[in-house]
A and B are shown apart, each in its own frame.
Chain A
Amino acid sequence: MGLSVDASIALAALAPFLAALLTPFVHSLAGRYSGWILALVPAGIFALLLGAVGPVLAGGSISAAIGWVPSYGLTLAFFVDGLSLIFALTIACIGTLIVLYSGAYLKGHPHKGRFLAFILAFMGSMLGLVLADNMLALFMFWEATSITSFLLIGFDHNRQAARRGAIQALVITNIGGMCLLVGVILAQHVSGTWLLSEMRGLEGVLVESGVYGLLLALFVGAAFTKSAQFPLHFWLPNAMEAPTPVSAFLHSATMVQAGVYLLARMTPLLGGTEAWTGILVVFGGVTLIWGALGALRETDLKQILAQTTIASLGLLVLLIGLGSKAAIAAVIAYFVAHACYKAALFMVAGAVDHEAGTREITALGGLADKMPATFIAAAFAALSMVGLPLTVGYFAKEEMYLAVVSGDWKMLLVLAVMVIGNALLAGVALVVAIKPFLGDAVPTPKTAHEAPIAMLIGPVLLGGLGIVAGILPDWLNHDVLAPGATAILGEAVETHVTLAVDLASPLIWLSALTWLLGIAVFRQAHAIRAVLRRLSAGLGWTADQVFDAAMFGLIRFSAAVTRLLHHGKLEFYLVLVFATLAVALFGPMLALGGFDWMVPTAELGDWSKRLVLPDLRPYEWGVIALAVFGLMAVLIARSRLIAILSLGIQGTALALIFLLFGAPDLAFTQLMVEVLSVVILTIVMTNLRLDARDHRPFEDWARDGTLAVVCGAGVSLLLMQILSGTLDTRLSDFFTATSVPIAHGANIVNVILVDYRGFDTLGEISVVMGAGIAILALLRRRRKAEGAAP
């Protein structure tokens, strides 16, 4: 391959988006084979990423950067180390199988092309998220996973439950997204860099900063919403409304693991403190037990698996919180094991649903004969989930027990939680793998038969992978666990998972205890379910109902606000407008000392010496008096006609003012307009039977009057303020000086209008034309309406 490793990393993150754009066309060309063709995209990315394995194993990391907003020094930087490579390879591997699976699962669905495009876009977001080095890019991809998962969960948008699940996932994960954005900006502010790799070089920069508590809360909040930690776990089971391939992808290795990835990524930056350990261990532990018990309560295969995912996420968060070398190695081992078996089991559940027509385990049984390959996949996956030797799940369990087995009472408590949680999960695994497939055959809605090959490749391969990895401990140690744990902790980690059984070590006995308890749980599954259902019925309110109440409360609140502001009474809208005007006039004047000029200066002594009579000539006084008279007459006019005529008086007075103060053009225009207005008003208004007087109740009169006087006074004072300053006459001087020489017009005002500001005048004429057309339309419609009704 001719590509450099750097370029291939950037390509891996961005190619799925391109593919998503092209998917609808590919689908319409390839039809039923589109799944096979489109699976080449993630498969190719997987191959590209394999090219990075060598350099990463050699102890290095790979950086690639594309200029993004160079003026702000932002680069779209990607960074590959052990952690991101494990996540990215898992995503690409499962993504390939999911695309294949979806092609068969949605056979003949009218929107299959759209679905595949969403899946690819989601995969791109997820790859970008785990490969991003720039924290802003990380946030961007984080939000992109929220949006694409919204589209995927709500894919079946005709059902309200699907819409609800999608909205719930979006709202909850976006709250976390906002936390992440604030956290990222804050972290940049503290450390001075957007790049995670650079920040890791600054030892203790976040932990020792004054805002560590806030940073911790923000990042943990982001991770907990995404990774469905108690009490924000409830969106995950509801997201099961999505088609099964979506659940298999989002809830095994991707969407929900983004929070785990973030926590792992931030371990060297935020981890190691008591607060970090305390929060993560407590919430993780509670989530583990809560999810495991929730799984035992359900009977729907997908719901059972969703609850176990919550439990597994809790376990991962707990392990990250512990933060020791063994615990971090266990995180990697468990992540790989979980991704394989959970995706396989979801795909098995989808295949059972697809072929037998139901997912209720109480309505399933004896499918092993009819669906042998599916059963084998389920059995492999369940073995890994139980954690029997020769599976990767076994190593994960050994590592996590190793992390806590020697410690004080707190560690022993954590150990107890882990054993109980693992035992419950083991019981659930047995239920999922045995109940539908073994035992007496039960009649199902559809006559069950083996799933098509594209739906078998995924579960069989992933189930098998869990076994293969389980018999190659050296490869696992050297090529997976050590690089991953080293990348998280930032110091060299050696892991020693082994197949050798040491009976003197407590680990094997703890494992055995887990298995025994798991078998007990399996045998009593029915009774446990009955007890748990009774308990949860007695609980009353669930987090789900709280969410509904909050959402509906939000709708009611916004409706109330809308009603308050949008009440339909025009006069109140105008009162608000003019009150705002008054505030806008007086606020700045008060704040900026606009009234200082009123206070007499020391030399003048007092007010009487400030009073200077304006040097107006008698006829000018006369014109101003005429204007005031016209205005007053409008106000107190007893009949409509007098009001209209008074309107003419004030307009004429204004025209006279223009005439007296050197604006003959204005005076002429004003006079014409005034005459026209009076004539038109008279013609129209005398046709209508309107109230002659302006009746207002006293309180309205007082309110309107006060507002009017305040606004008028404000404008006057503002104008006087303007007049007391100096006028910038550069523009006027330019027009005056150049009117004749370059525009060849003696009337400067006209020259400005038709020459310098010609486009303004064009706009003005367009307004006149628009108004004319609108008036014509209004009047013609009336005539037509009258003509139609004889």
Chain B
Amino acid sequence: MDYVLAALVGVFVSLGVYLLLSRSVIRMLIGMTVLGNGVNLLIFTSGRVMREVAPIVPAGLEVPAGPIANPLPQALILTAIVIGFSMFSFLLVLAFRAYKSLDADNTDTMRLAEPENAPQPPLSY
């Protein structure tokens, strides 16, 4: 079953990349989210998956009775989800402000930092 999940990761990544290559900032934002989800699933799957046994030690025991899901990828992903969300919020506000200031959603027209006709460097000592 993990091969099916591996294929699903591929679909997530493909769509994320495709959206990131858009010129529209809002689509890039959605692409970021999708790519992030894909990467989380990648980490999850690469730690091997197992059905329905959460990594929780039952009350009264020192160690789990039977096999459990791998806890390490889960801890990593939990951190990644939260940071991903922070980044998403920040980028969203940044895109919103850029739109308000530049009145543009198209990355081709956002040339403030790298102007179209930058001057040549001076040819002297």
Q: Could you list which residues of chain A lie within 8 angstroms of chain B, going by C-beta atoms?
A: 160, 163-164, 167, 552, 555-556, 558-559, 563, 566-571, 574-575, 578, 614-616, 620, 624, 627-628, 631, 634-635, 640, 643-644, 647, 650-651, 654, 657-658, 660-666, 669-670, 673, 676-677, 680-681, 684-685, 688, 690-691, 694, 696, 700, 703-705, 707-709, 711-713, 715-716, 719-720, 722-723, 727, 729, 731-732, 735-737, 739-741, 746-749, 752-753, 757, 760-761, 764, 767-768, 770-772, 774-775, 778-779, 781-782
24 contacts between A and B (CB under 8 A): A570-B23, A614-B4, A627-B12, A647-B30, A647-B33, A657-B41, A662-B53, A662-B69, A673-B84, A690-B105, A700-B21, A708-B13, A708-B14, A711-B13, A711-B17, A712-B12, A723-B3, A723-B48, A740-B57, A748-B57, A752-B75, A757-B75, A771-B90, A774-B90
A550 to chain B, nearest CB (A): 12
A673 adjacent to B81 (CB under 8 Å) = yes
A residues within 8 A CB of B19? 634-635, 694
Bound-complex Cα distance A753 to B38 (A): 22
B63 adjacent to A737 (CB under 8 Å) = yes
- Most A Cβ at <10 Å: residue of B17, B23, B86: B17
Knowing A614-B4, A782-B97 touch, does A662 contact B50 (C-beta < 8 A)?
Answer: yes
Chain B window 4-24, contacts with chain A (Cβ cutoff 8 Å), 1 for yes, 0 for no: 111111111111011111111
Bound-complex Cα distance A160 to B123 (A): 12
- The residue in chain A whose Cβ has the minimal distance to the Cβ of B39 is A715
Knowing A650-B37, A716-B10 touch, does A775 contact B93 (C-beta < 8 A)?
Answer: yes
- Which 10 A-B residue pairings sit nearest by Cβ, starting from the closest? A712-B14, A662-B69, A716-B10, A568-B114, A708-B18, A771-B86, A752-B75, A570-B107, A712-B10, A164-B125
A746 adjacent to B56 (CB under 8 Å) = yes
A771 adjacent to B87 (CB under 8 Å) = yes
B97 adjacent to A749 (CB under 8 Å) = no
- The residue in chain A whose Cβ has the minimal distance to the Cβ of B69 is A662
B81 adjacent to A670 (CB under 8 Å) = yes
Bound-complex Cα distance A229 to B100 (A): 64
B70 adjacent to A729 (CB under 8 Å) = yes
Bound-complex Cα distance A694 to B93 (A): 21
B29 to chain A, nearest CB (A): 8
Q: In this assembly, does B49 line the interface, its C-beta being within 8 Å of a C-beta of chain A? A: yes
A residues within 8 A CB of B22? 571, 694, 696, 704
Bound-complex Cα distance A768 to B78 (A): 13
- The residue in chain A whose Cβ has the minimal distance to the Cβ of B113 is A568
Chain A at the B interface: mostly helix, strand, loop or mixed?
A: helix
B15 adjacent to A708 (CB under 8 Å) = yes
B117 to chain A, nearest CB (A): 10
B residues within 8 A CB of A741? 62
Knowing A631-B11, A654-B41, A778-B93 touch, does A160 contact B99 (C-beta < 8 A)?
Answer: no
Bound-complex Cα distance A719 to B40 (A): 12
B12 adjacent to A631 (CB under 8 Å) = yes
B72 to chain A, nearest CB (A): 5
A661 adjacent to B120 (CB under 8 Å) = no
A residues within 8 A CB of B75? 749, 752-753, 757
A666 adjacent to B17 (CB under 8 Å) = no
A781 to chain B, nearest CB (A): 8
B21 adjacent to A716 (CB under 8 Å) = no
Knowing A566-B114, A676-B85, A715-B9 touch, does A614 contact B1 (C-beta < 8 A)?
Answer: yes
Chain B window 84-117, contacts with chain A (Cβ cutoff 8 Å), 1 for yes, 0 for no: 1111111011101101100001011011011110
A627 adjacent to B8 (CB under 8 Å) = yes
Bound-complex Cα distance A661 to B10 (A): 19
A163 adjacent to B125 (CB under 8 Å) = yes
Cβ-neighbour of B46 out of A616, A624, A723, A770 (below 8 A): A723
A716 adjacent to B9 (CB under 8 Å) = yes
- The residue in chain A whose Cβ has the minimal distance to the Cβ of B82 is A764
Q: Could you list which residues of chain B lie within 8 angstroms of chain A, going by C-beta atoms?
A: 1-15, 17-24, 26-27, 29-30, 33-34, 37-38, 40-42, 44-59, 61-64, 68-72, 74-75, 77-79, 81-90, 92-94, 96-97, 99-100, 105, 107-108, 110-111, 113-116, 118, 120-121, 123-125
B residues within 8 A CB of A614? 1, 3-4
A635 adjacent to B2 (CB under 8 Å) = no
- The residue in chain B whose Cβ has the minimal distance to the Cβ of A560 is B120
B66 to chain A, nearest CB (A): 11
Bound-complex Cα distance A752 to B9 (A): 25
Knowing A167-B125, A559-B121 touch, does A677 contact B46 (C-beta < 8 A)?
Answer: no
A661 adjacent to B107 (CB under 8 Å) = no
B45 adjacent to A723 (CB under 8 Å) = yes
Chain B at the A interface: mostly helix, strand, loop or mixed?
A: helix
Knowing A160-B125, A661-B50, A735-B71 touch, does A669 contact B14 (C-beta < 8 A)?
Answer: no
Bound-complex Cα distance A704 to B19 (A): 9
B residues within 8 A CB of A740? 57, 61-63
A666 adjacent to B81 (CB under 8 Å) = yes
Bound-complex Cα distance A719 to B4 (A): 11
- The residue in chain B whose Cβ has the minimal distance to the Cβ of A720 is B6
B residues within 8 A CB of A781? 97
B52 adjacent to A723 (CB under 8 Å) = no
B74 adjacent to A749 (CB under 8 Å) = yes
Cβ-neighbour of A552 out of B56, B78, B96, B123 (below 8 A): B123
B6 adjacent to A764 (CB under 8 Å) = no
- The residue in chain A whose Cβ has the minimal distance to the Cβ of B87 is A771
A716 adjacent to B40 (CB under 8 Å) = no
Cβ-neighbour of A669 out of B10, B17, B68, B82 (below 8 A): B82
Bound-complex Cα distance A634 to B13 (A): 13
A residues within 8 A CB of B47? 727, 732
- The residue in chain A whose Cβ has the minimal distance to the Cβ of B85 is A673
Cβ-neighbour of A559 out of B2, B49, B71, B120 (below 8 A): B120
A residues within 8 A CB of B59? 746
A569 adjacent to B100 (CB under 8 Å) = no
B69 to chain A, nearest CB (A): 3
A662 adjacent to B83 (CB under 8 Å) = no
B32 to chain A, nearest CB (A): 11
A390 to chain B, nearest CB (A): 46
B residues within 8 A CB of A727? 47-48, 70
B3 adjacent to A739 (CB under 8 Å) = no
B97 to chain A, nearest CB (A): 5
B residues within 8 A CB of A681? 29, 92
B122 to chain A, nearest CB (A): 8
Bound-complex Cα distance A42 to B108 (A): 64
B4 adjacent to A569 (CB under 8 Å) = no
B93 to chain A, nearest CB (A): 5
Bound-complex Cα distance A711 to B15 (A): 10
A736 adjacent to B63 (CB under 8 Å) = yes
A546 to chain B, nearest CB (A): 15
Knowing A662-B68, A704-B21, A713-B10 touch, does A669 contact B78 (C-beta < 8 A)?
Answer: yes
A640 adjacent to B6 (CB under 8 Å) = no
B4 adjacent to A624 (CB under 8 Å) = yes
Bound-complex Cα distance A509 to B39 (A): 91
B20 to chain A, nearest CB (A): 6
A residues within 8 A CB of B12? 627, 631, 650, 712
A residues within 8 A CB of B93? 774-775, 778-779
B41 adjacent to A574 (CB under 8 Å) = no
B residues within 8 A CB of A578? 17, 20-21
Cβ-neighbour of A715 out of B26, B38, B86, B94 (below 8 A): B38
Bound-complex Cα distance A722 to B11 (A): 18
Bound-complex Cα distance A709 to B113 (A): 32
A711 to chain B, nearest CB (A): 5
Bound-complex Cα distance A506 to B9 (A): 94
Bound-complex Cα distance A727 to B70 (A): 11
A761 to chain B, nearest CB (A): 7
B residues within 8 A CB of A574? 20-21
A residues within 8 A CB of B50? 661-662
- The residue in chain A whose Cβ has the minimal distance to the Cβ of B77 is A666
A694 adjacent to B24 (CB under 8 Å) = yes
B residues within 8 A CB of A761? 79
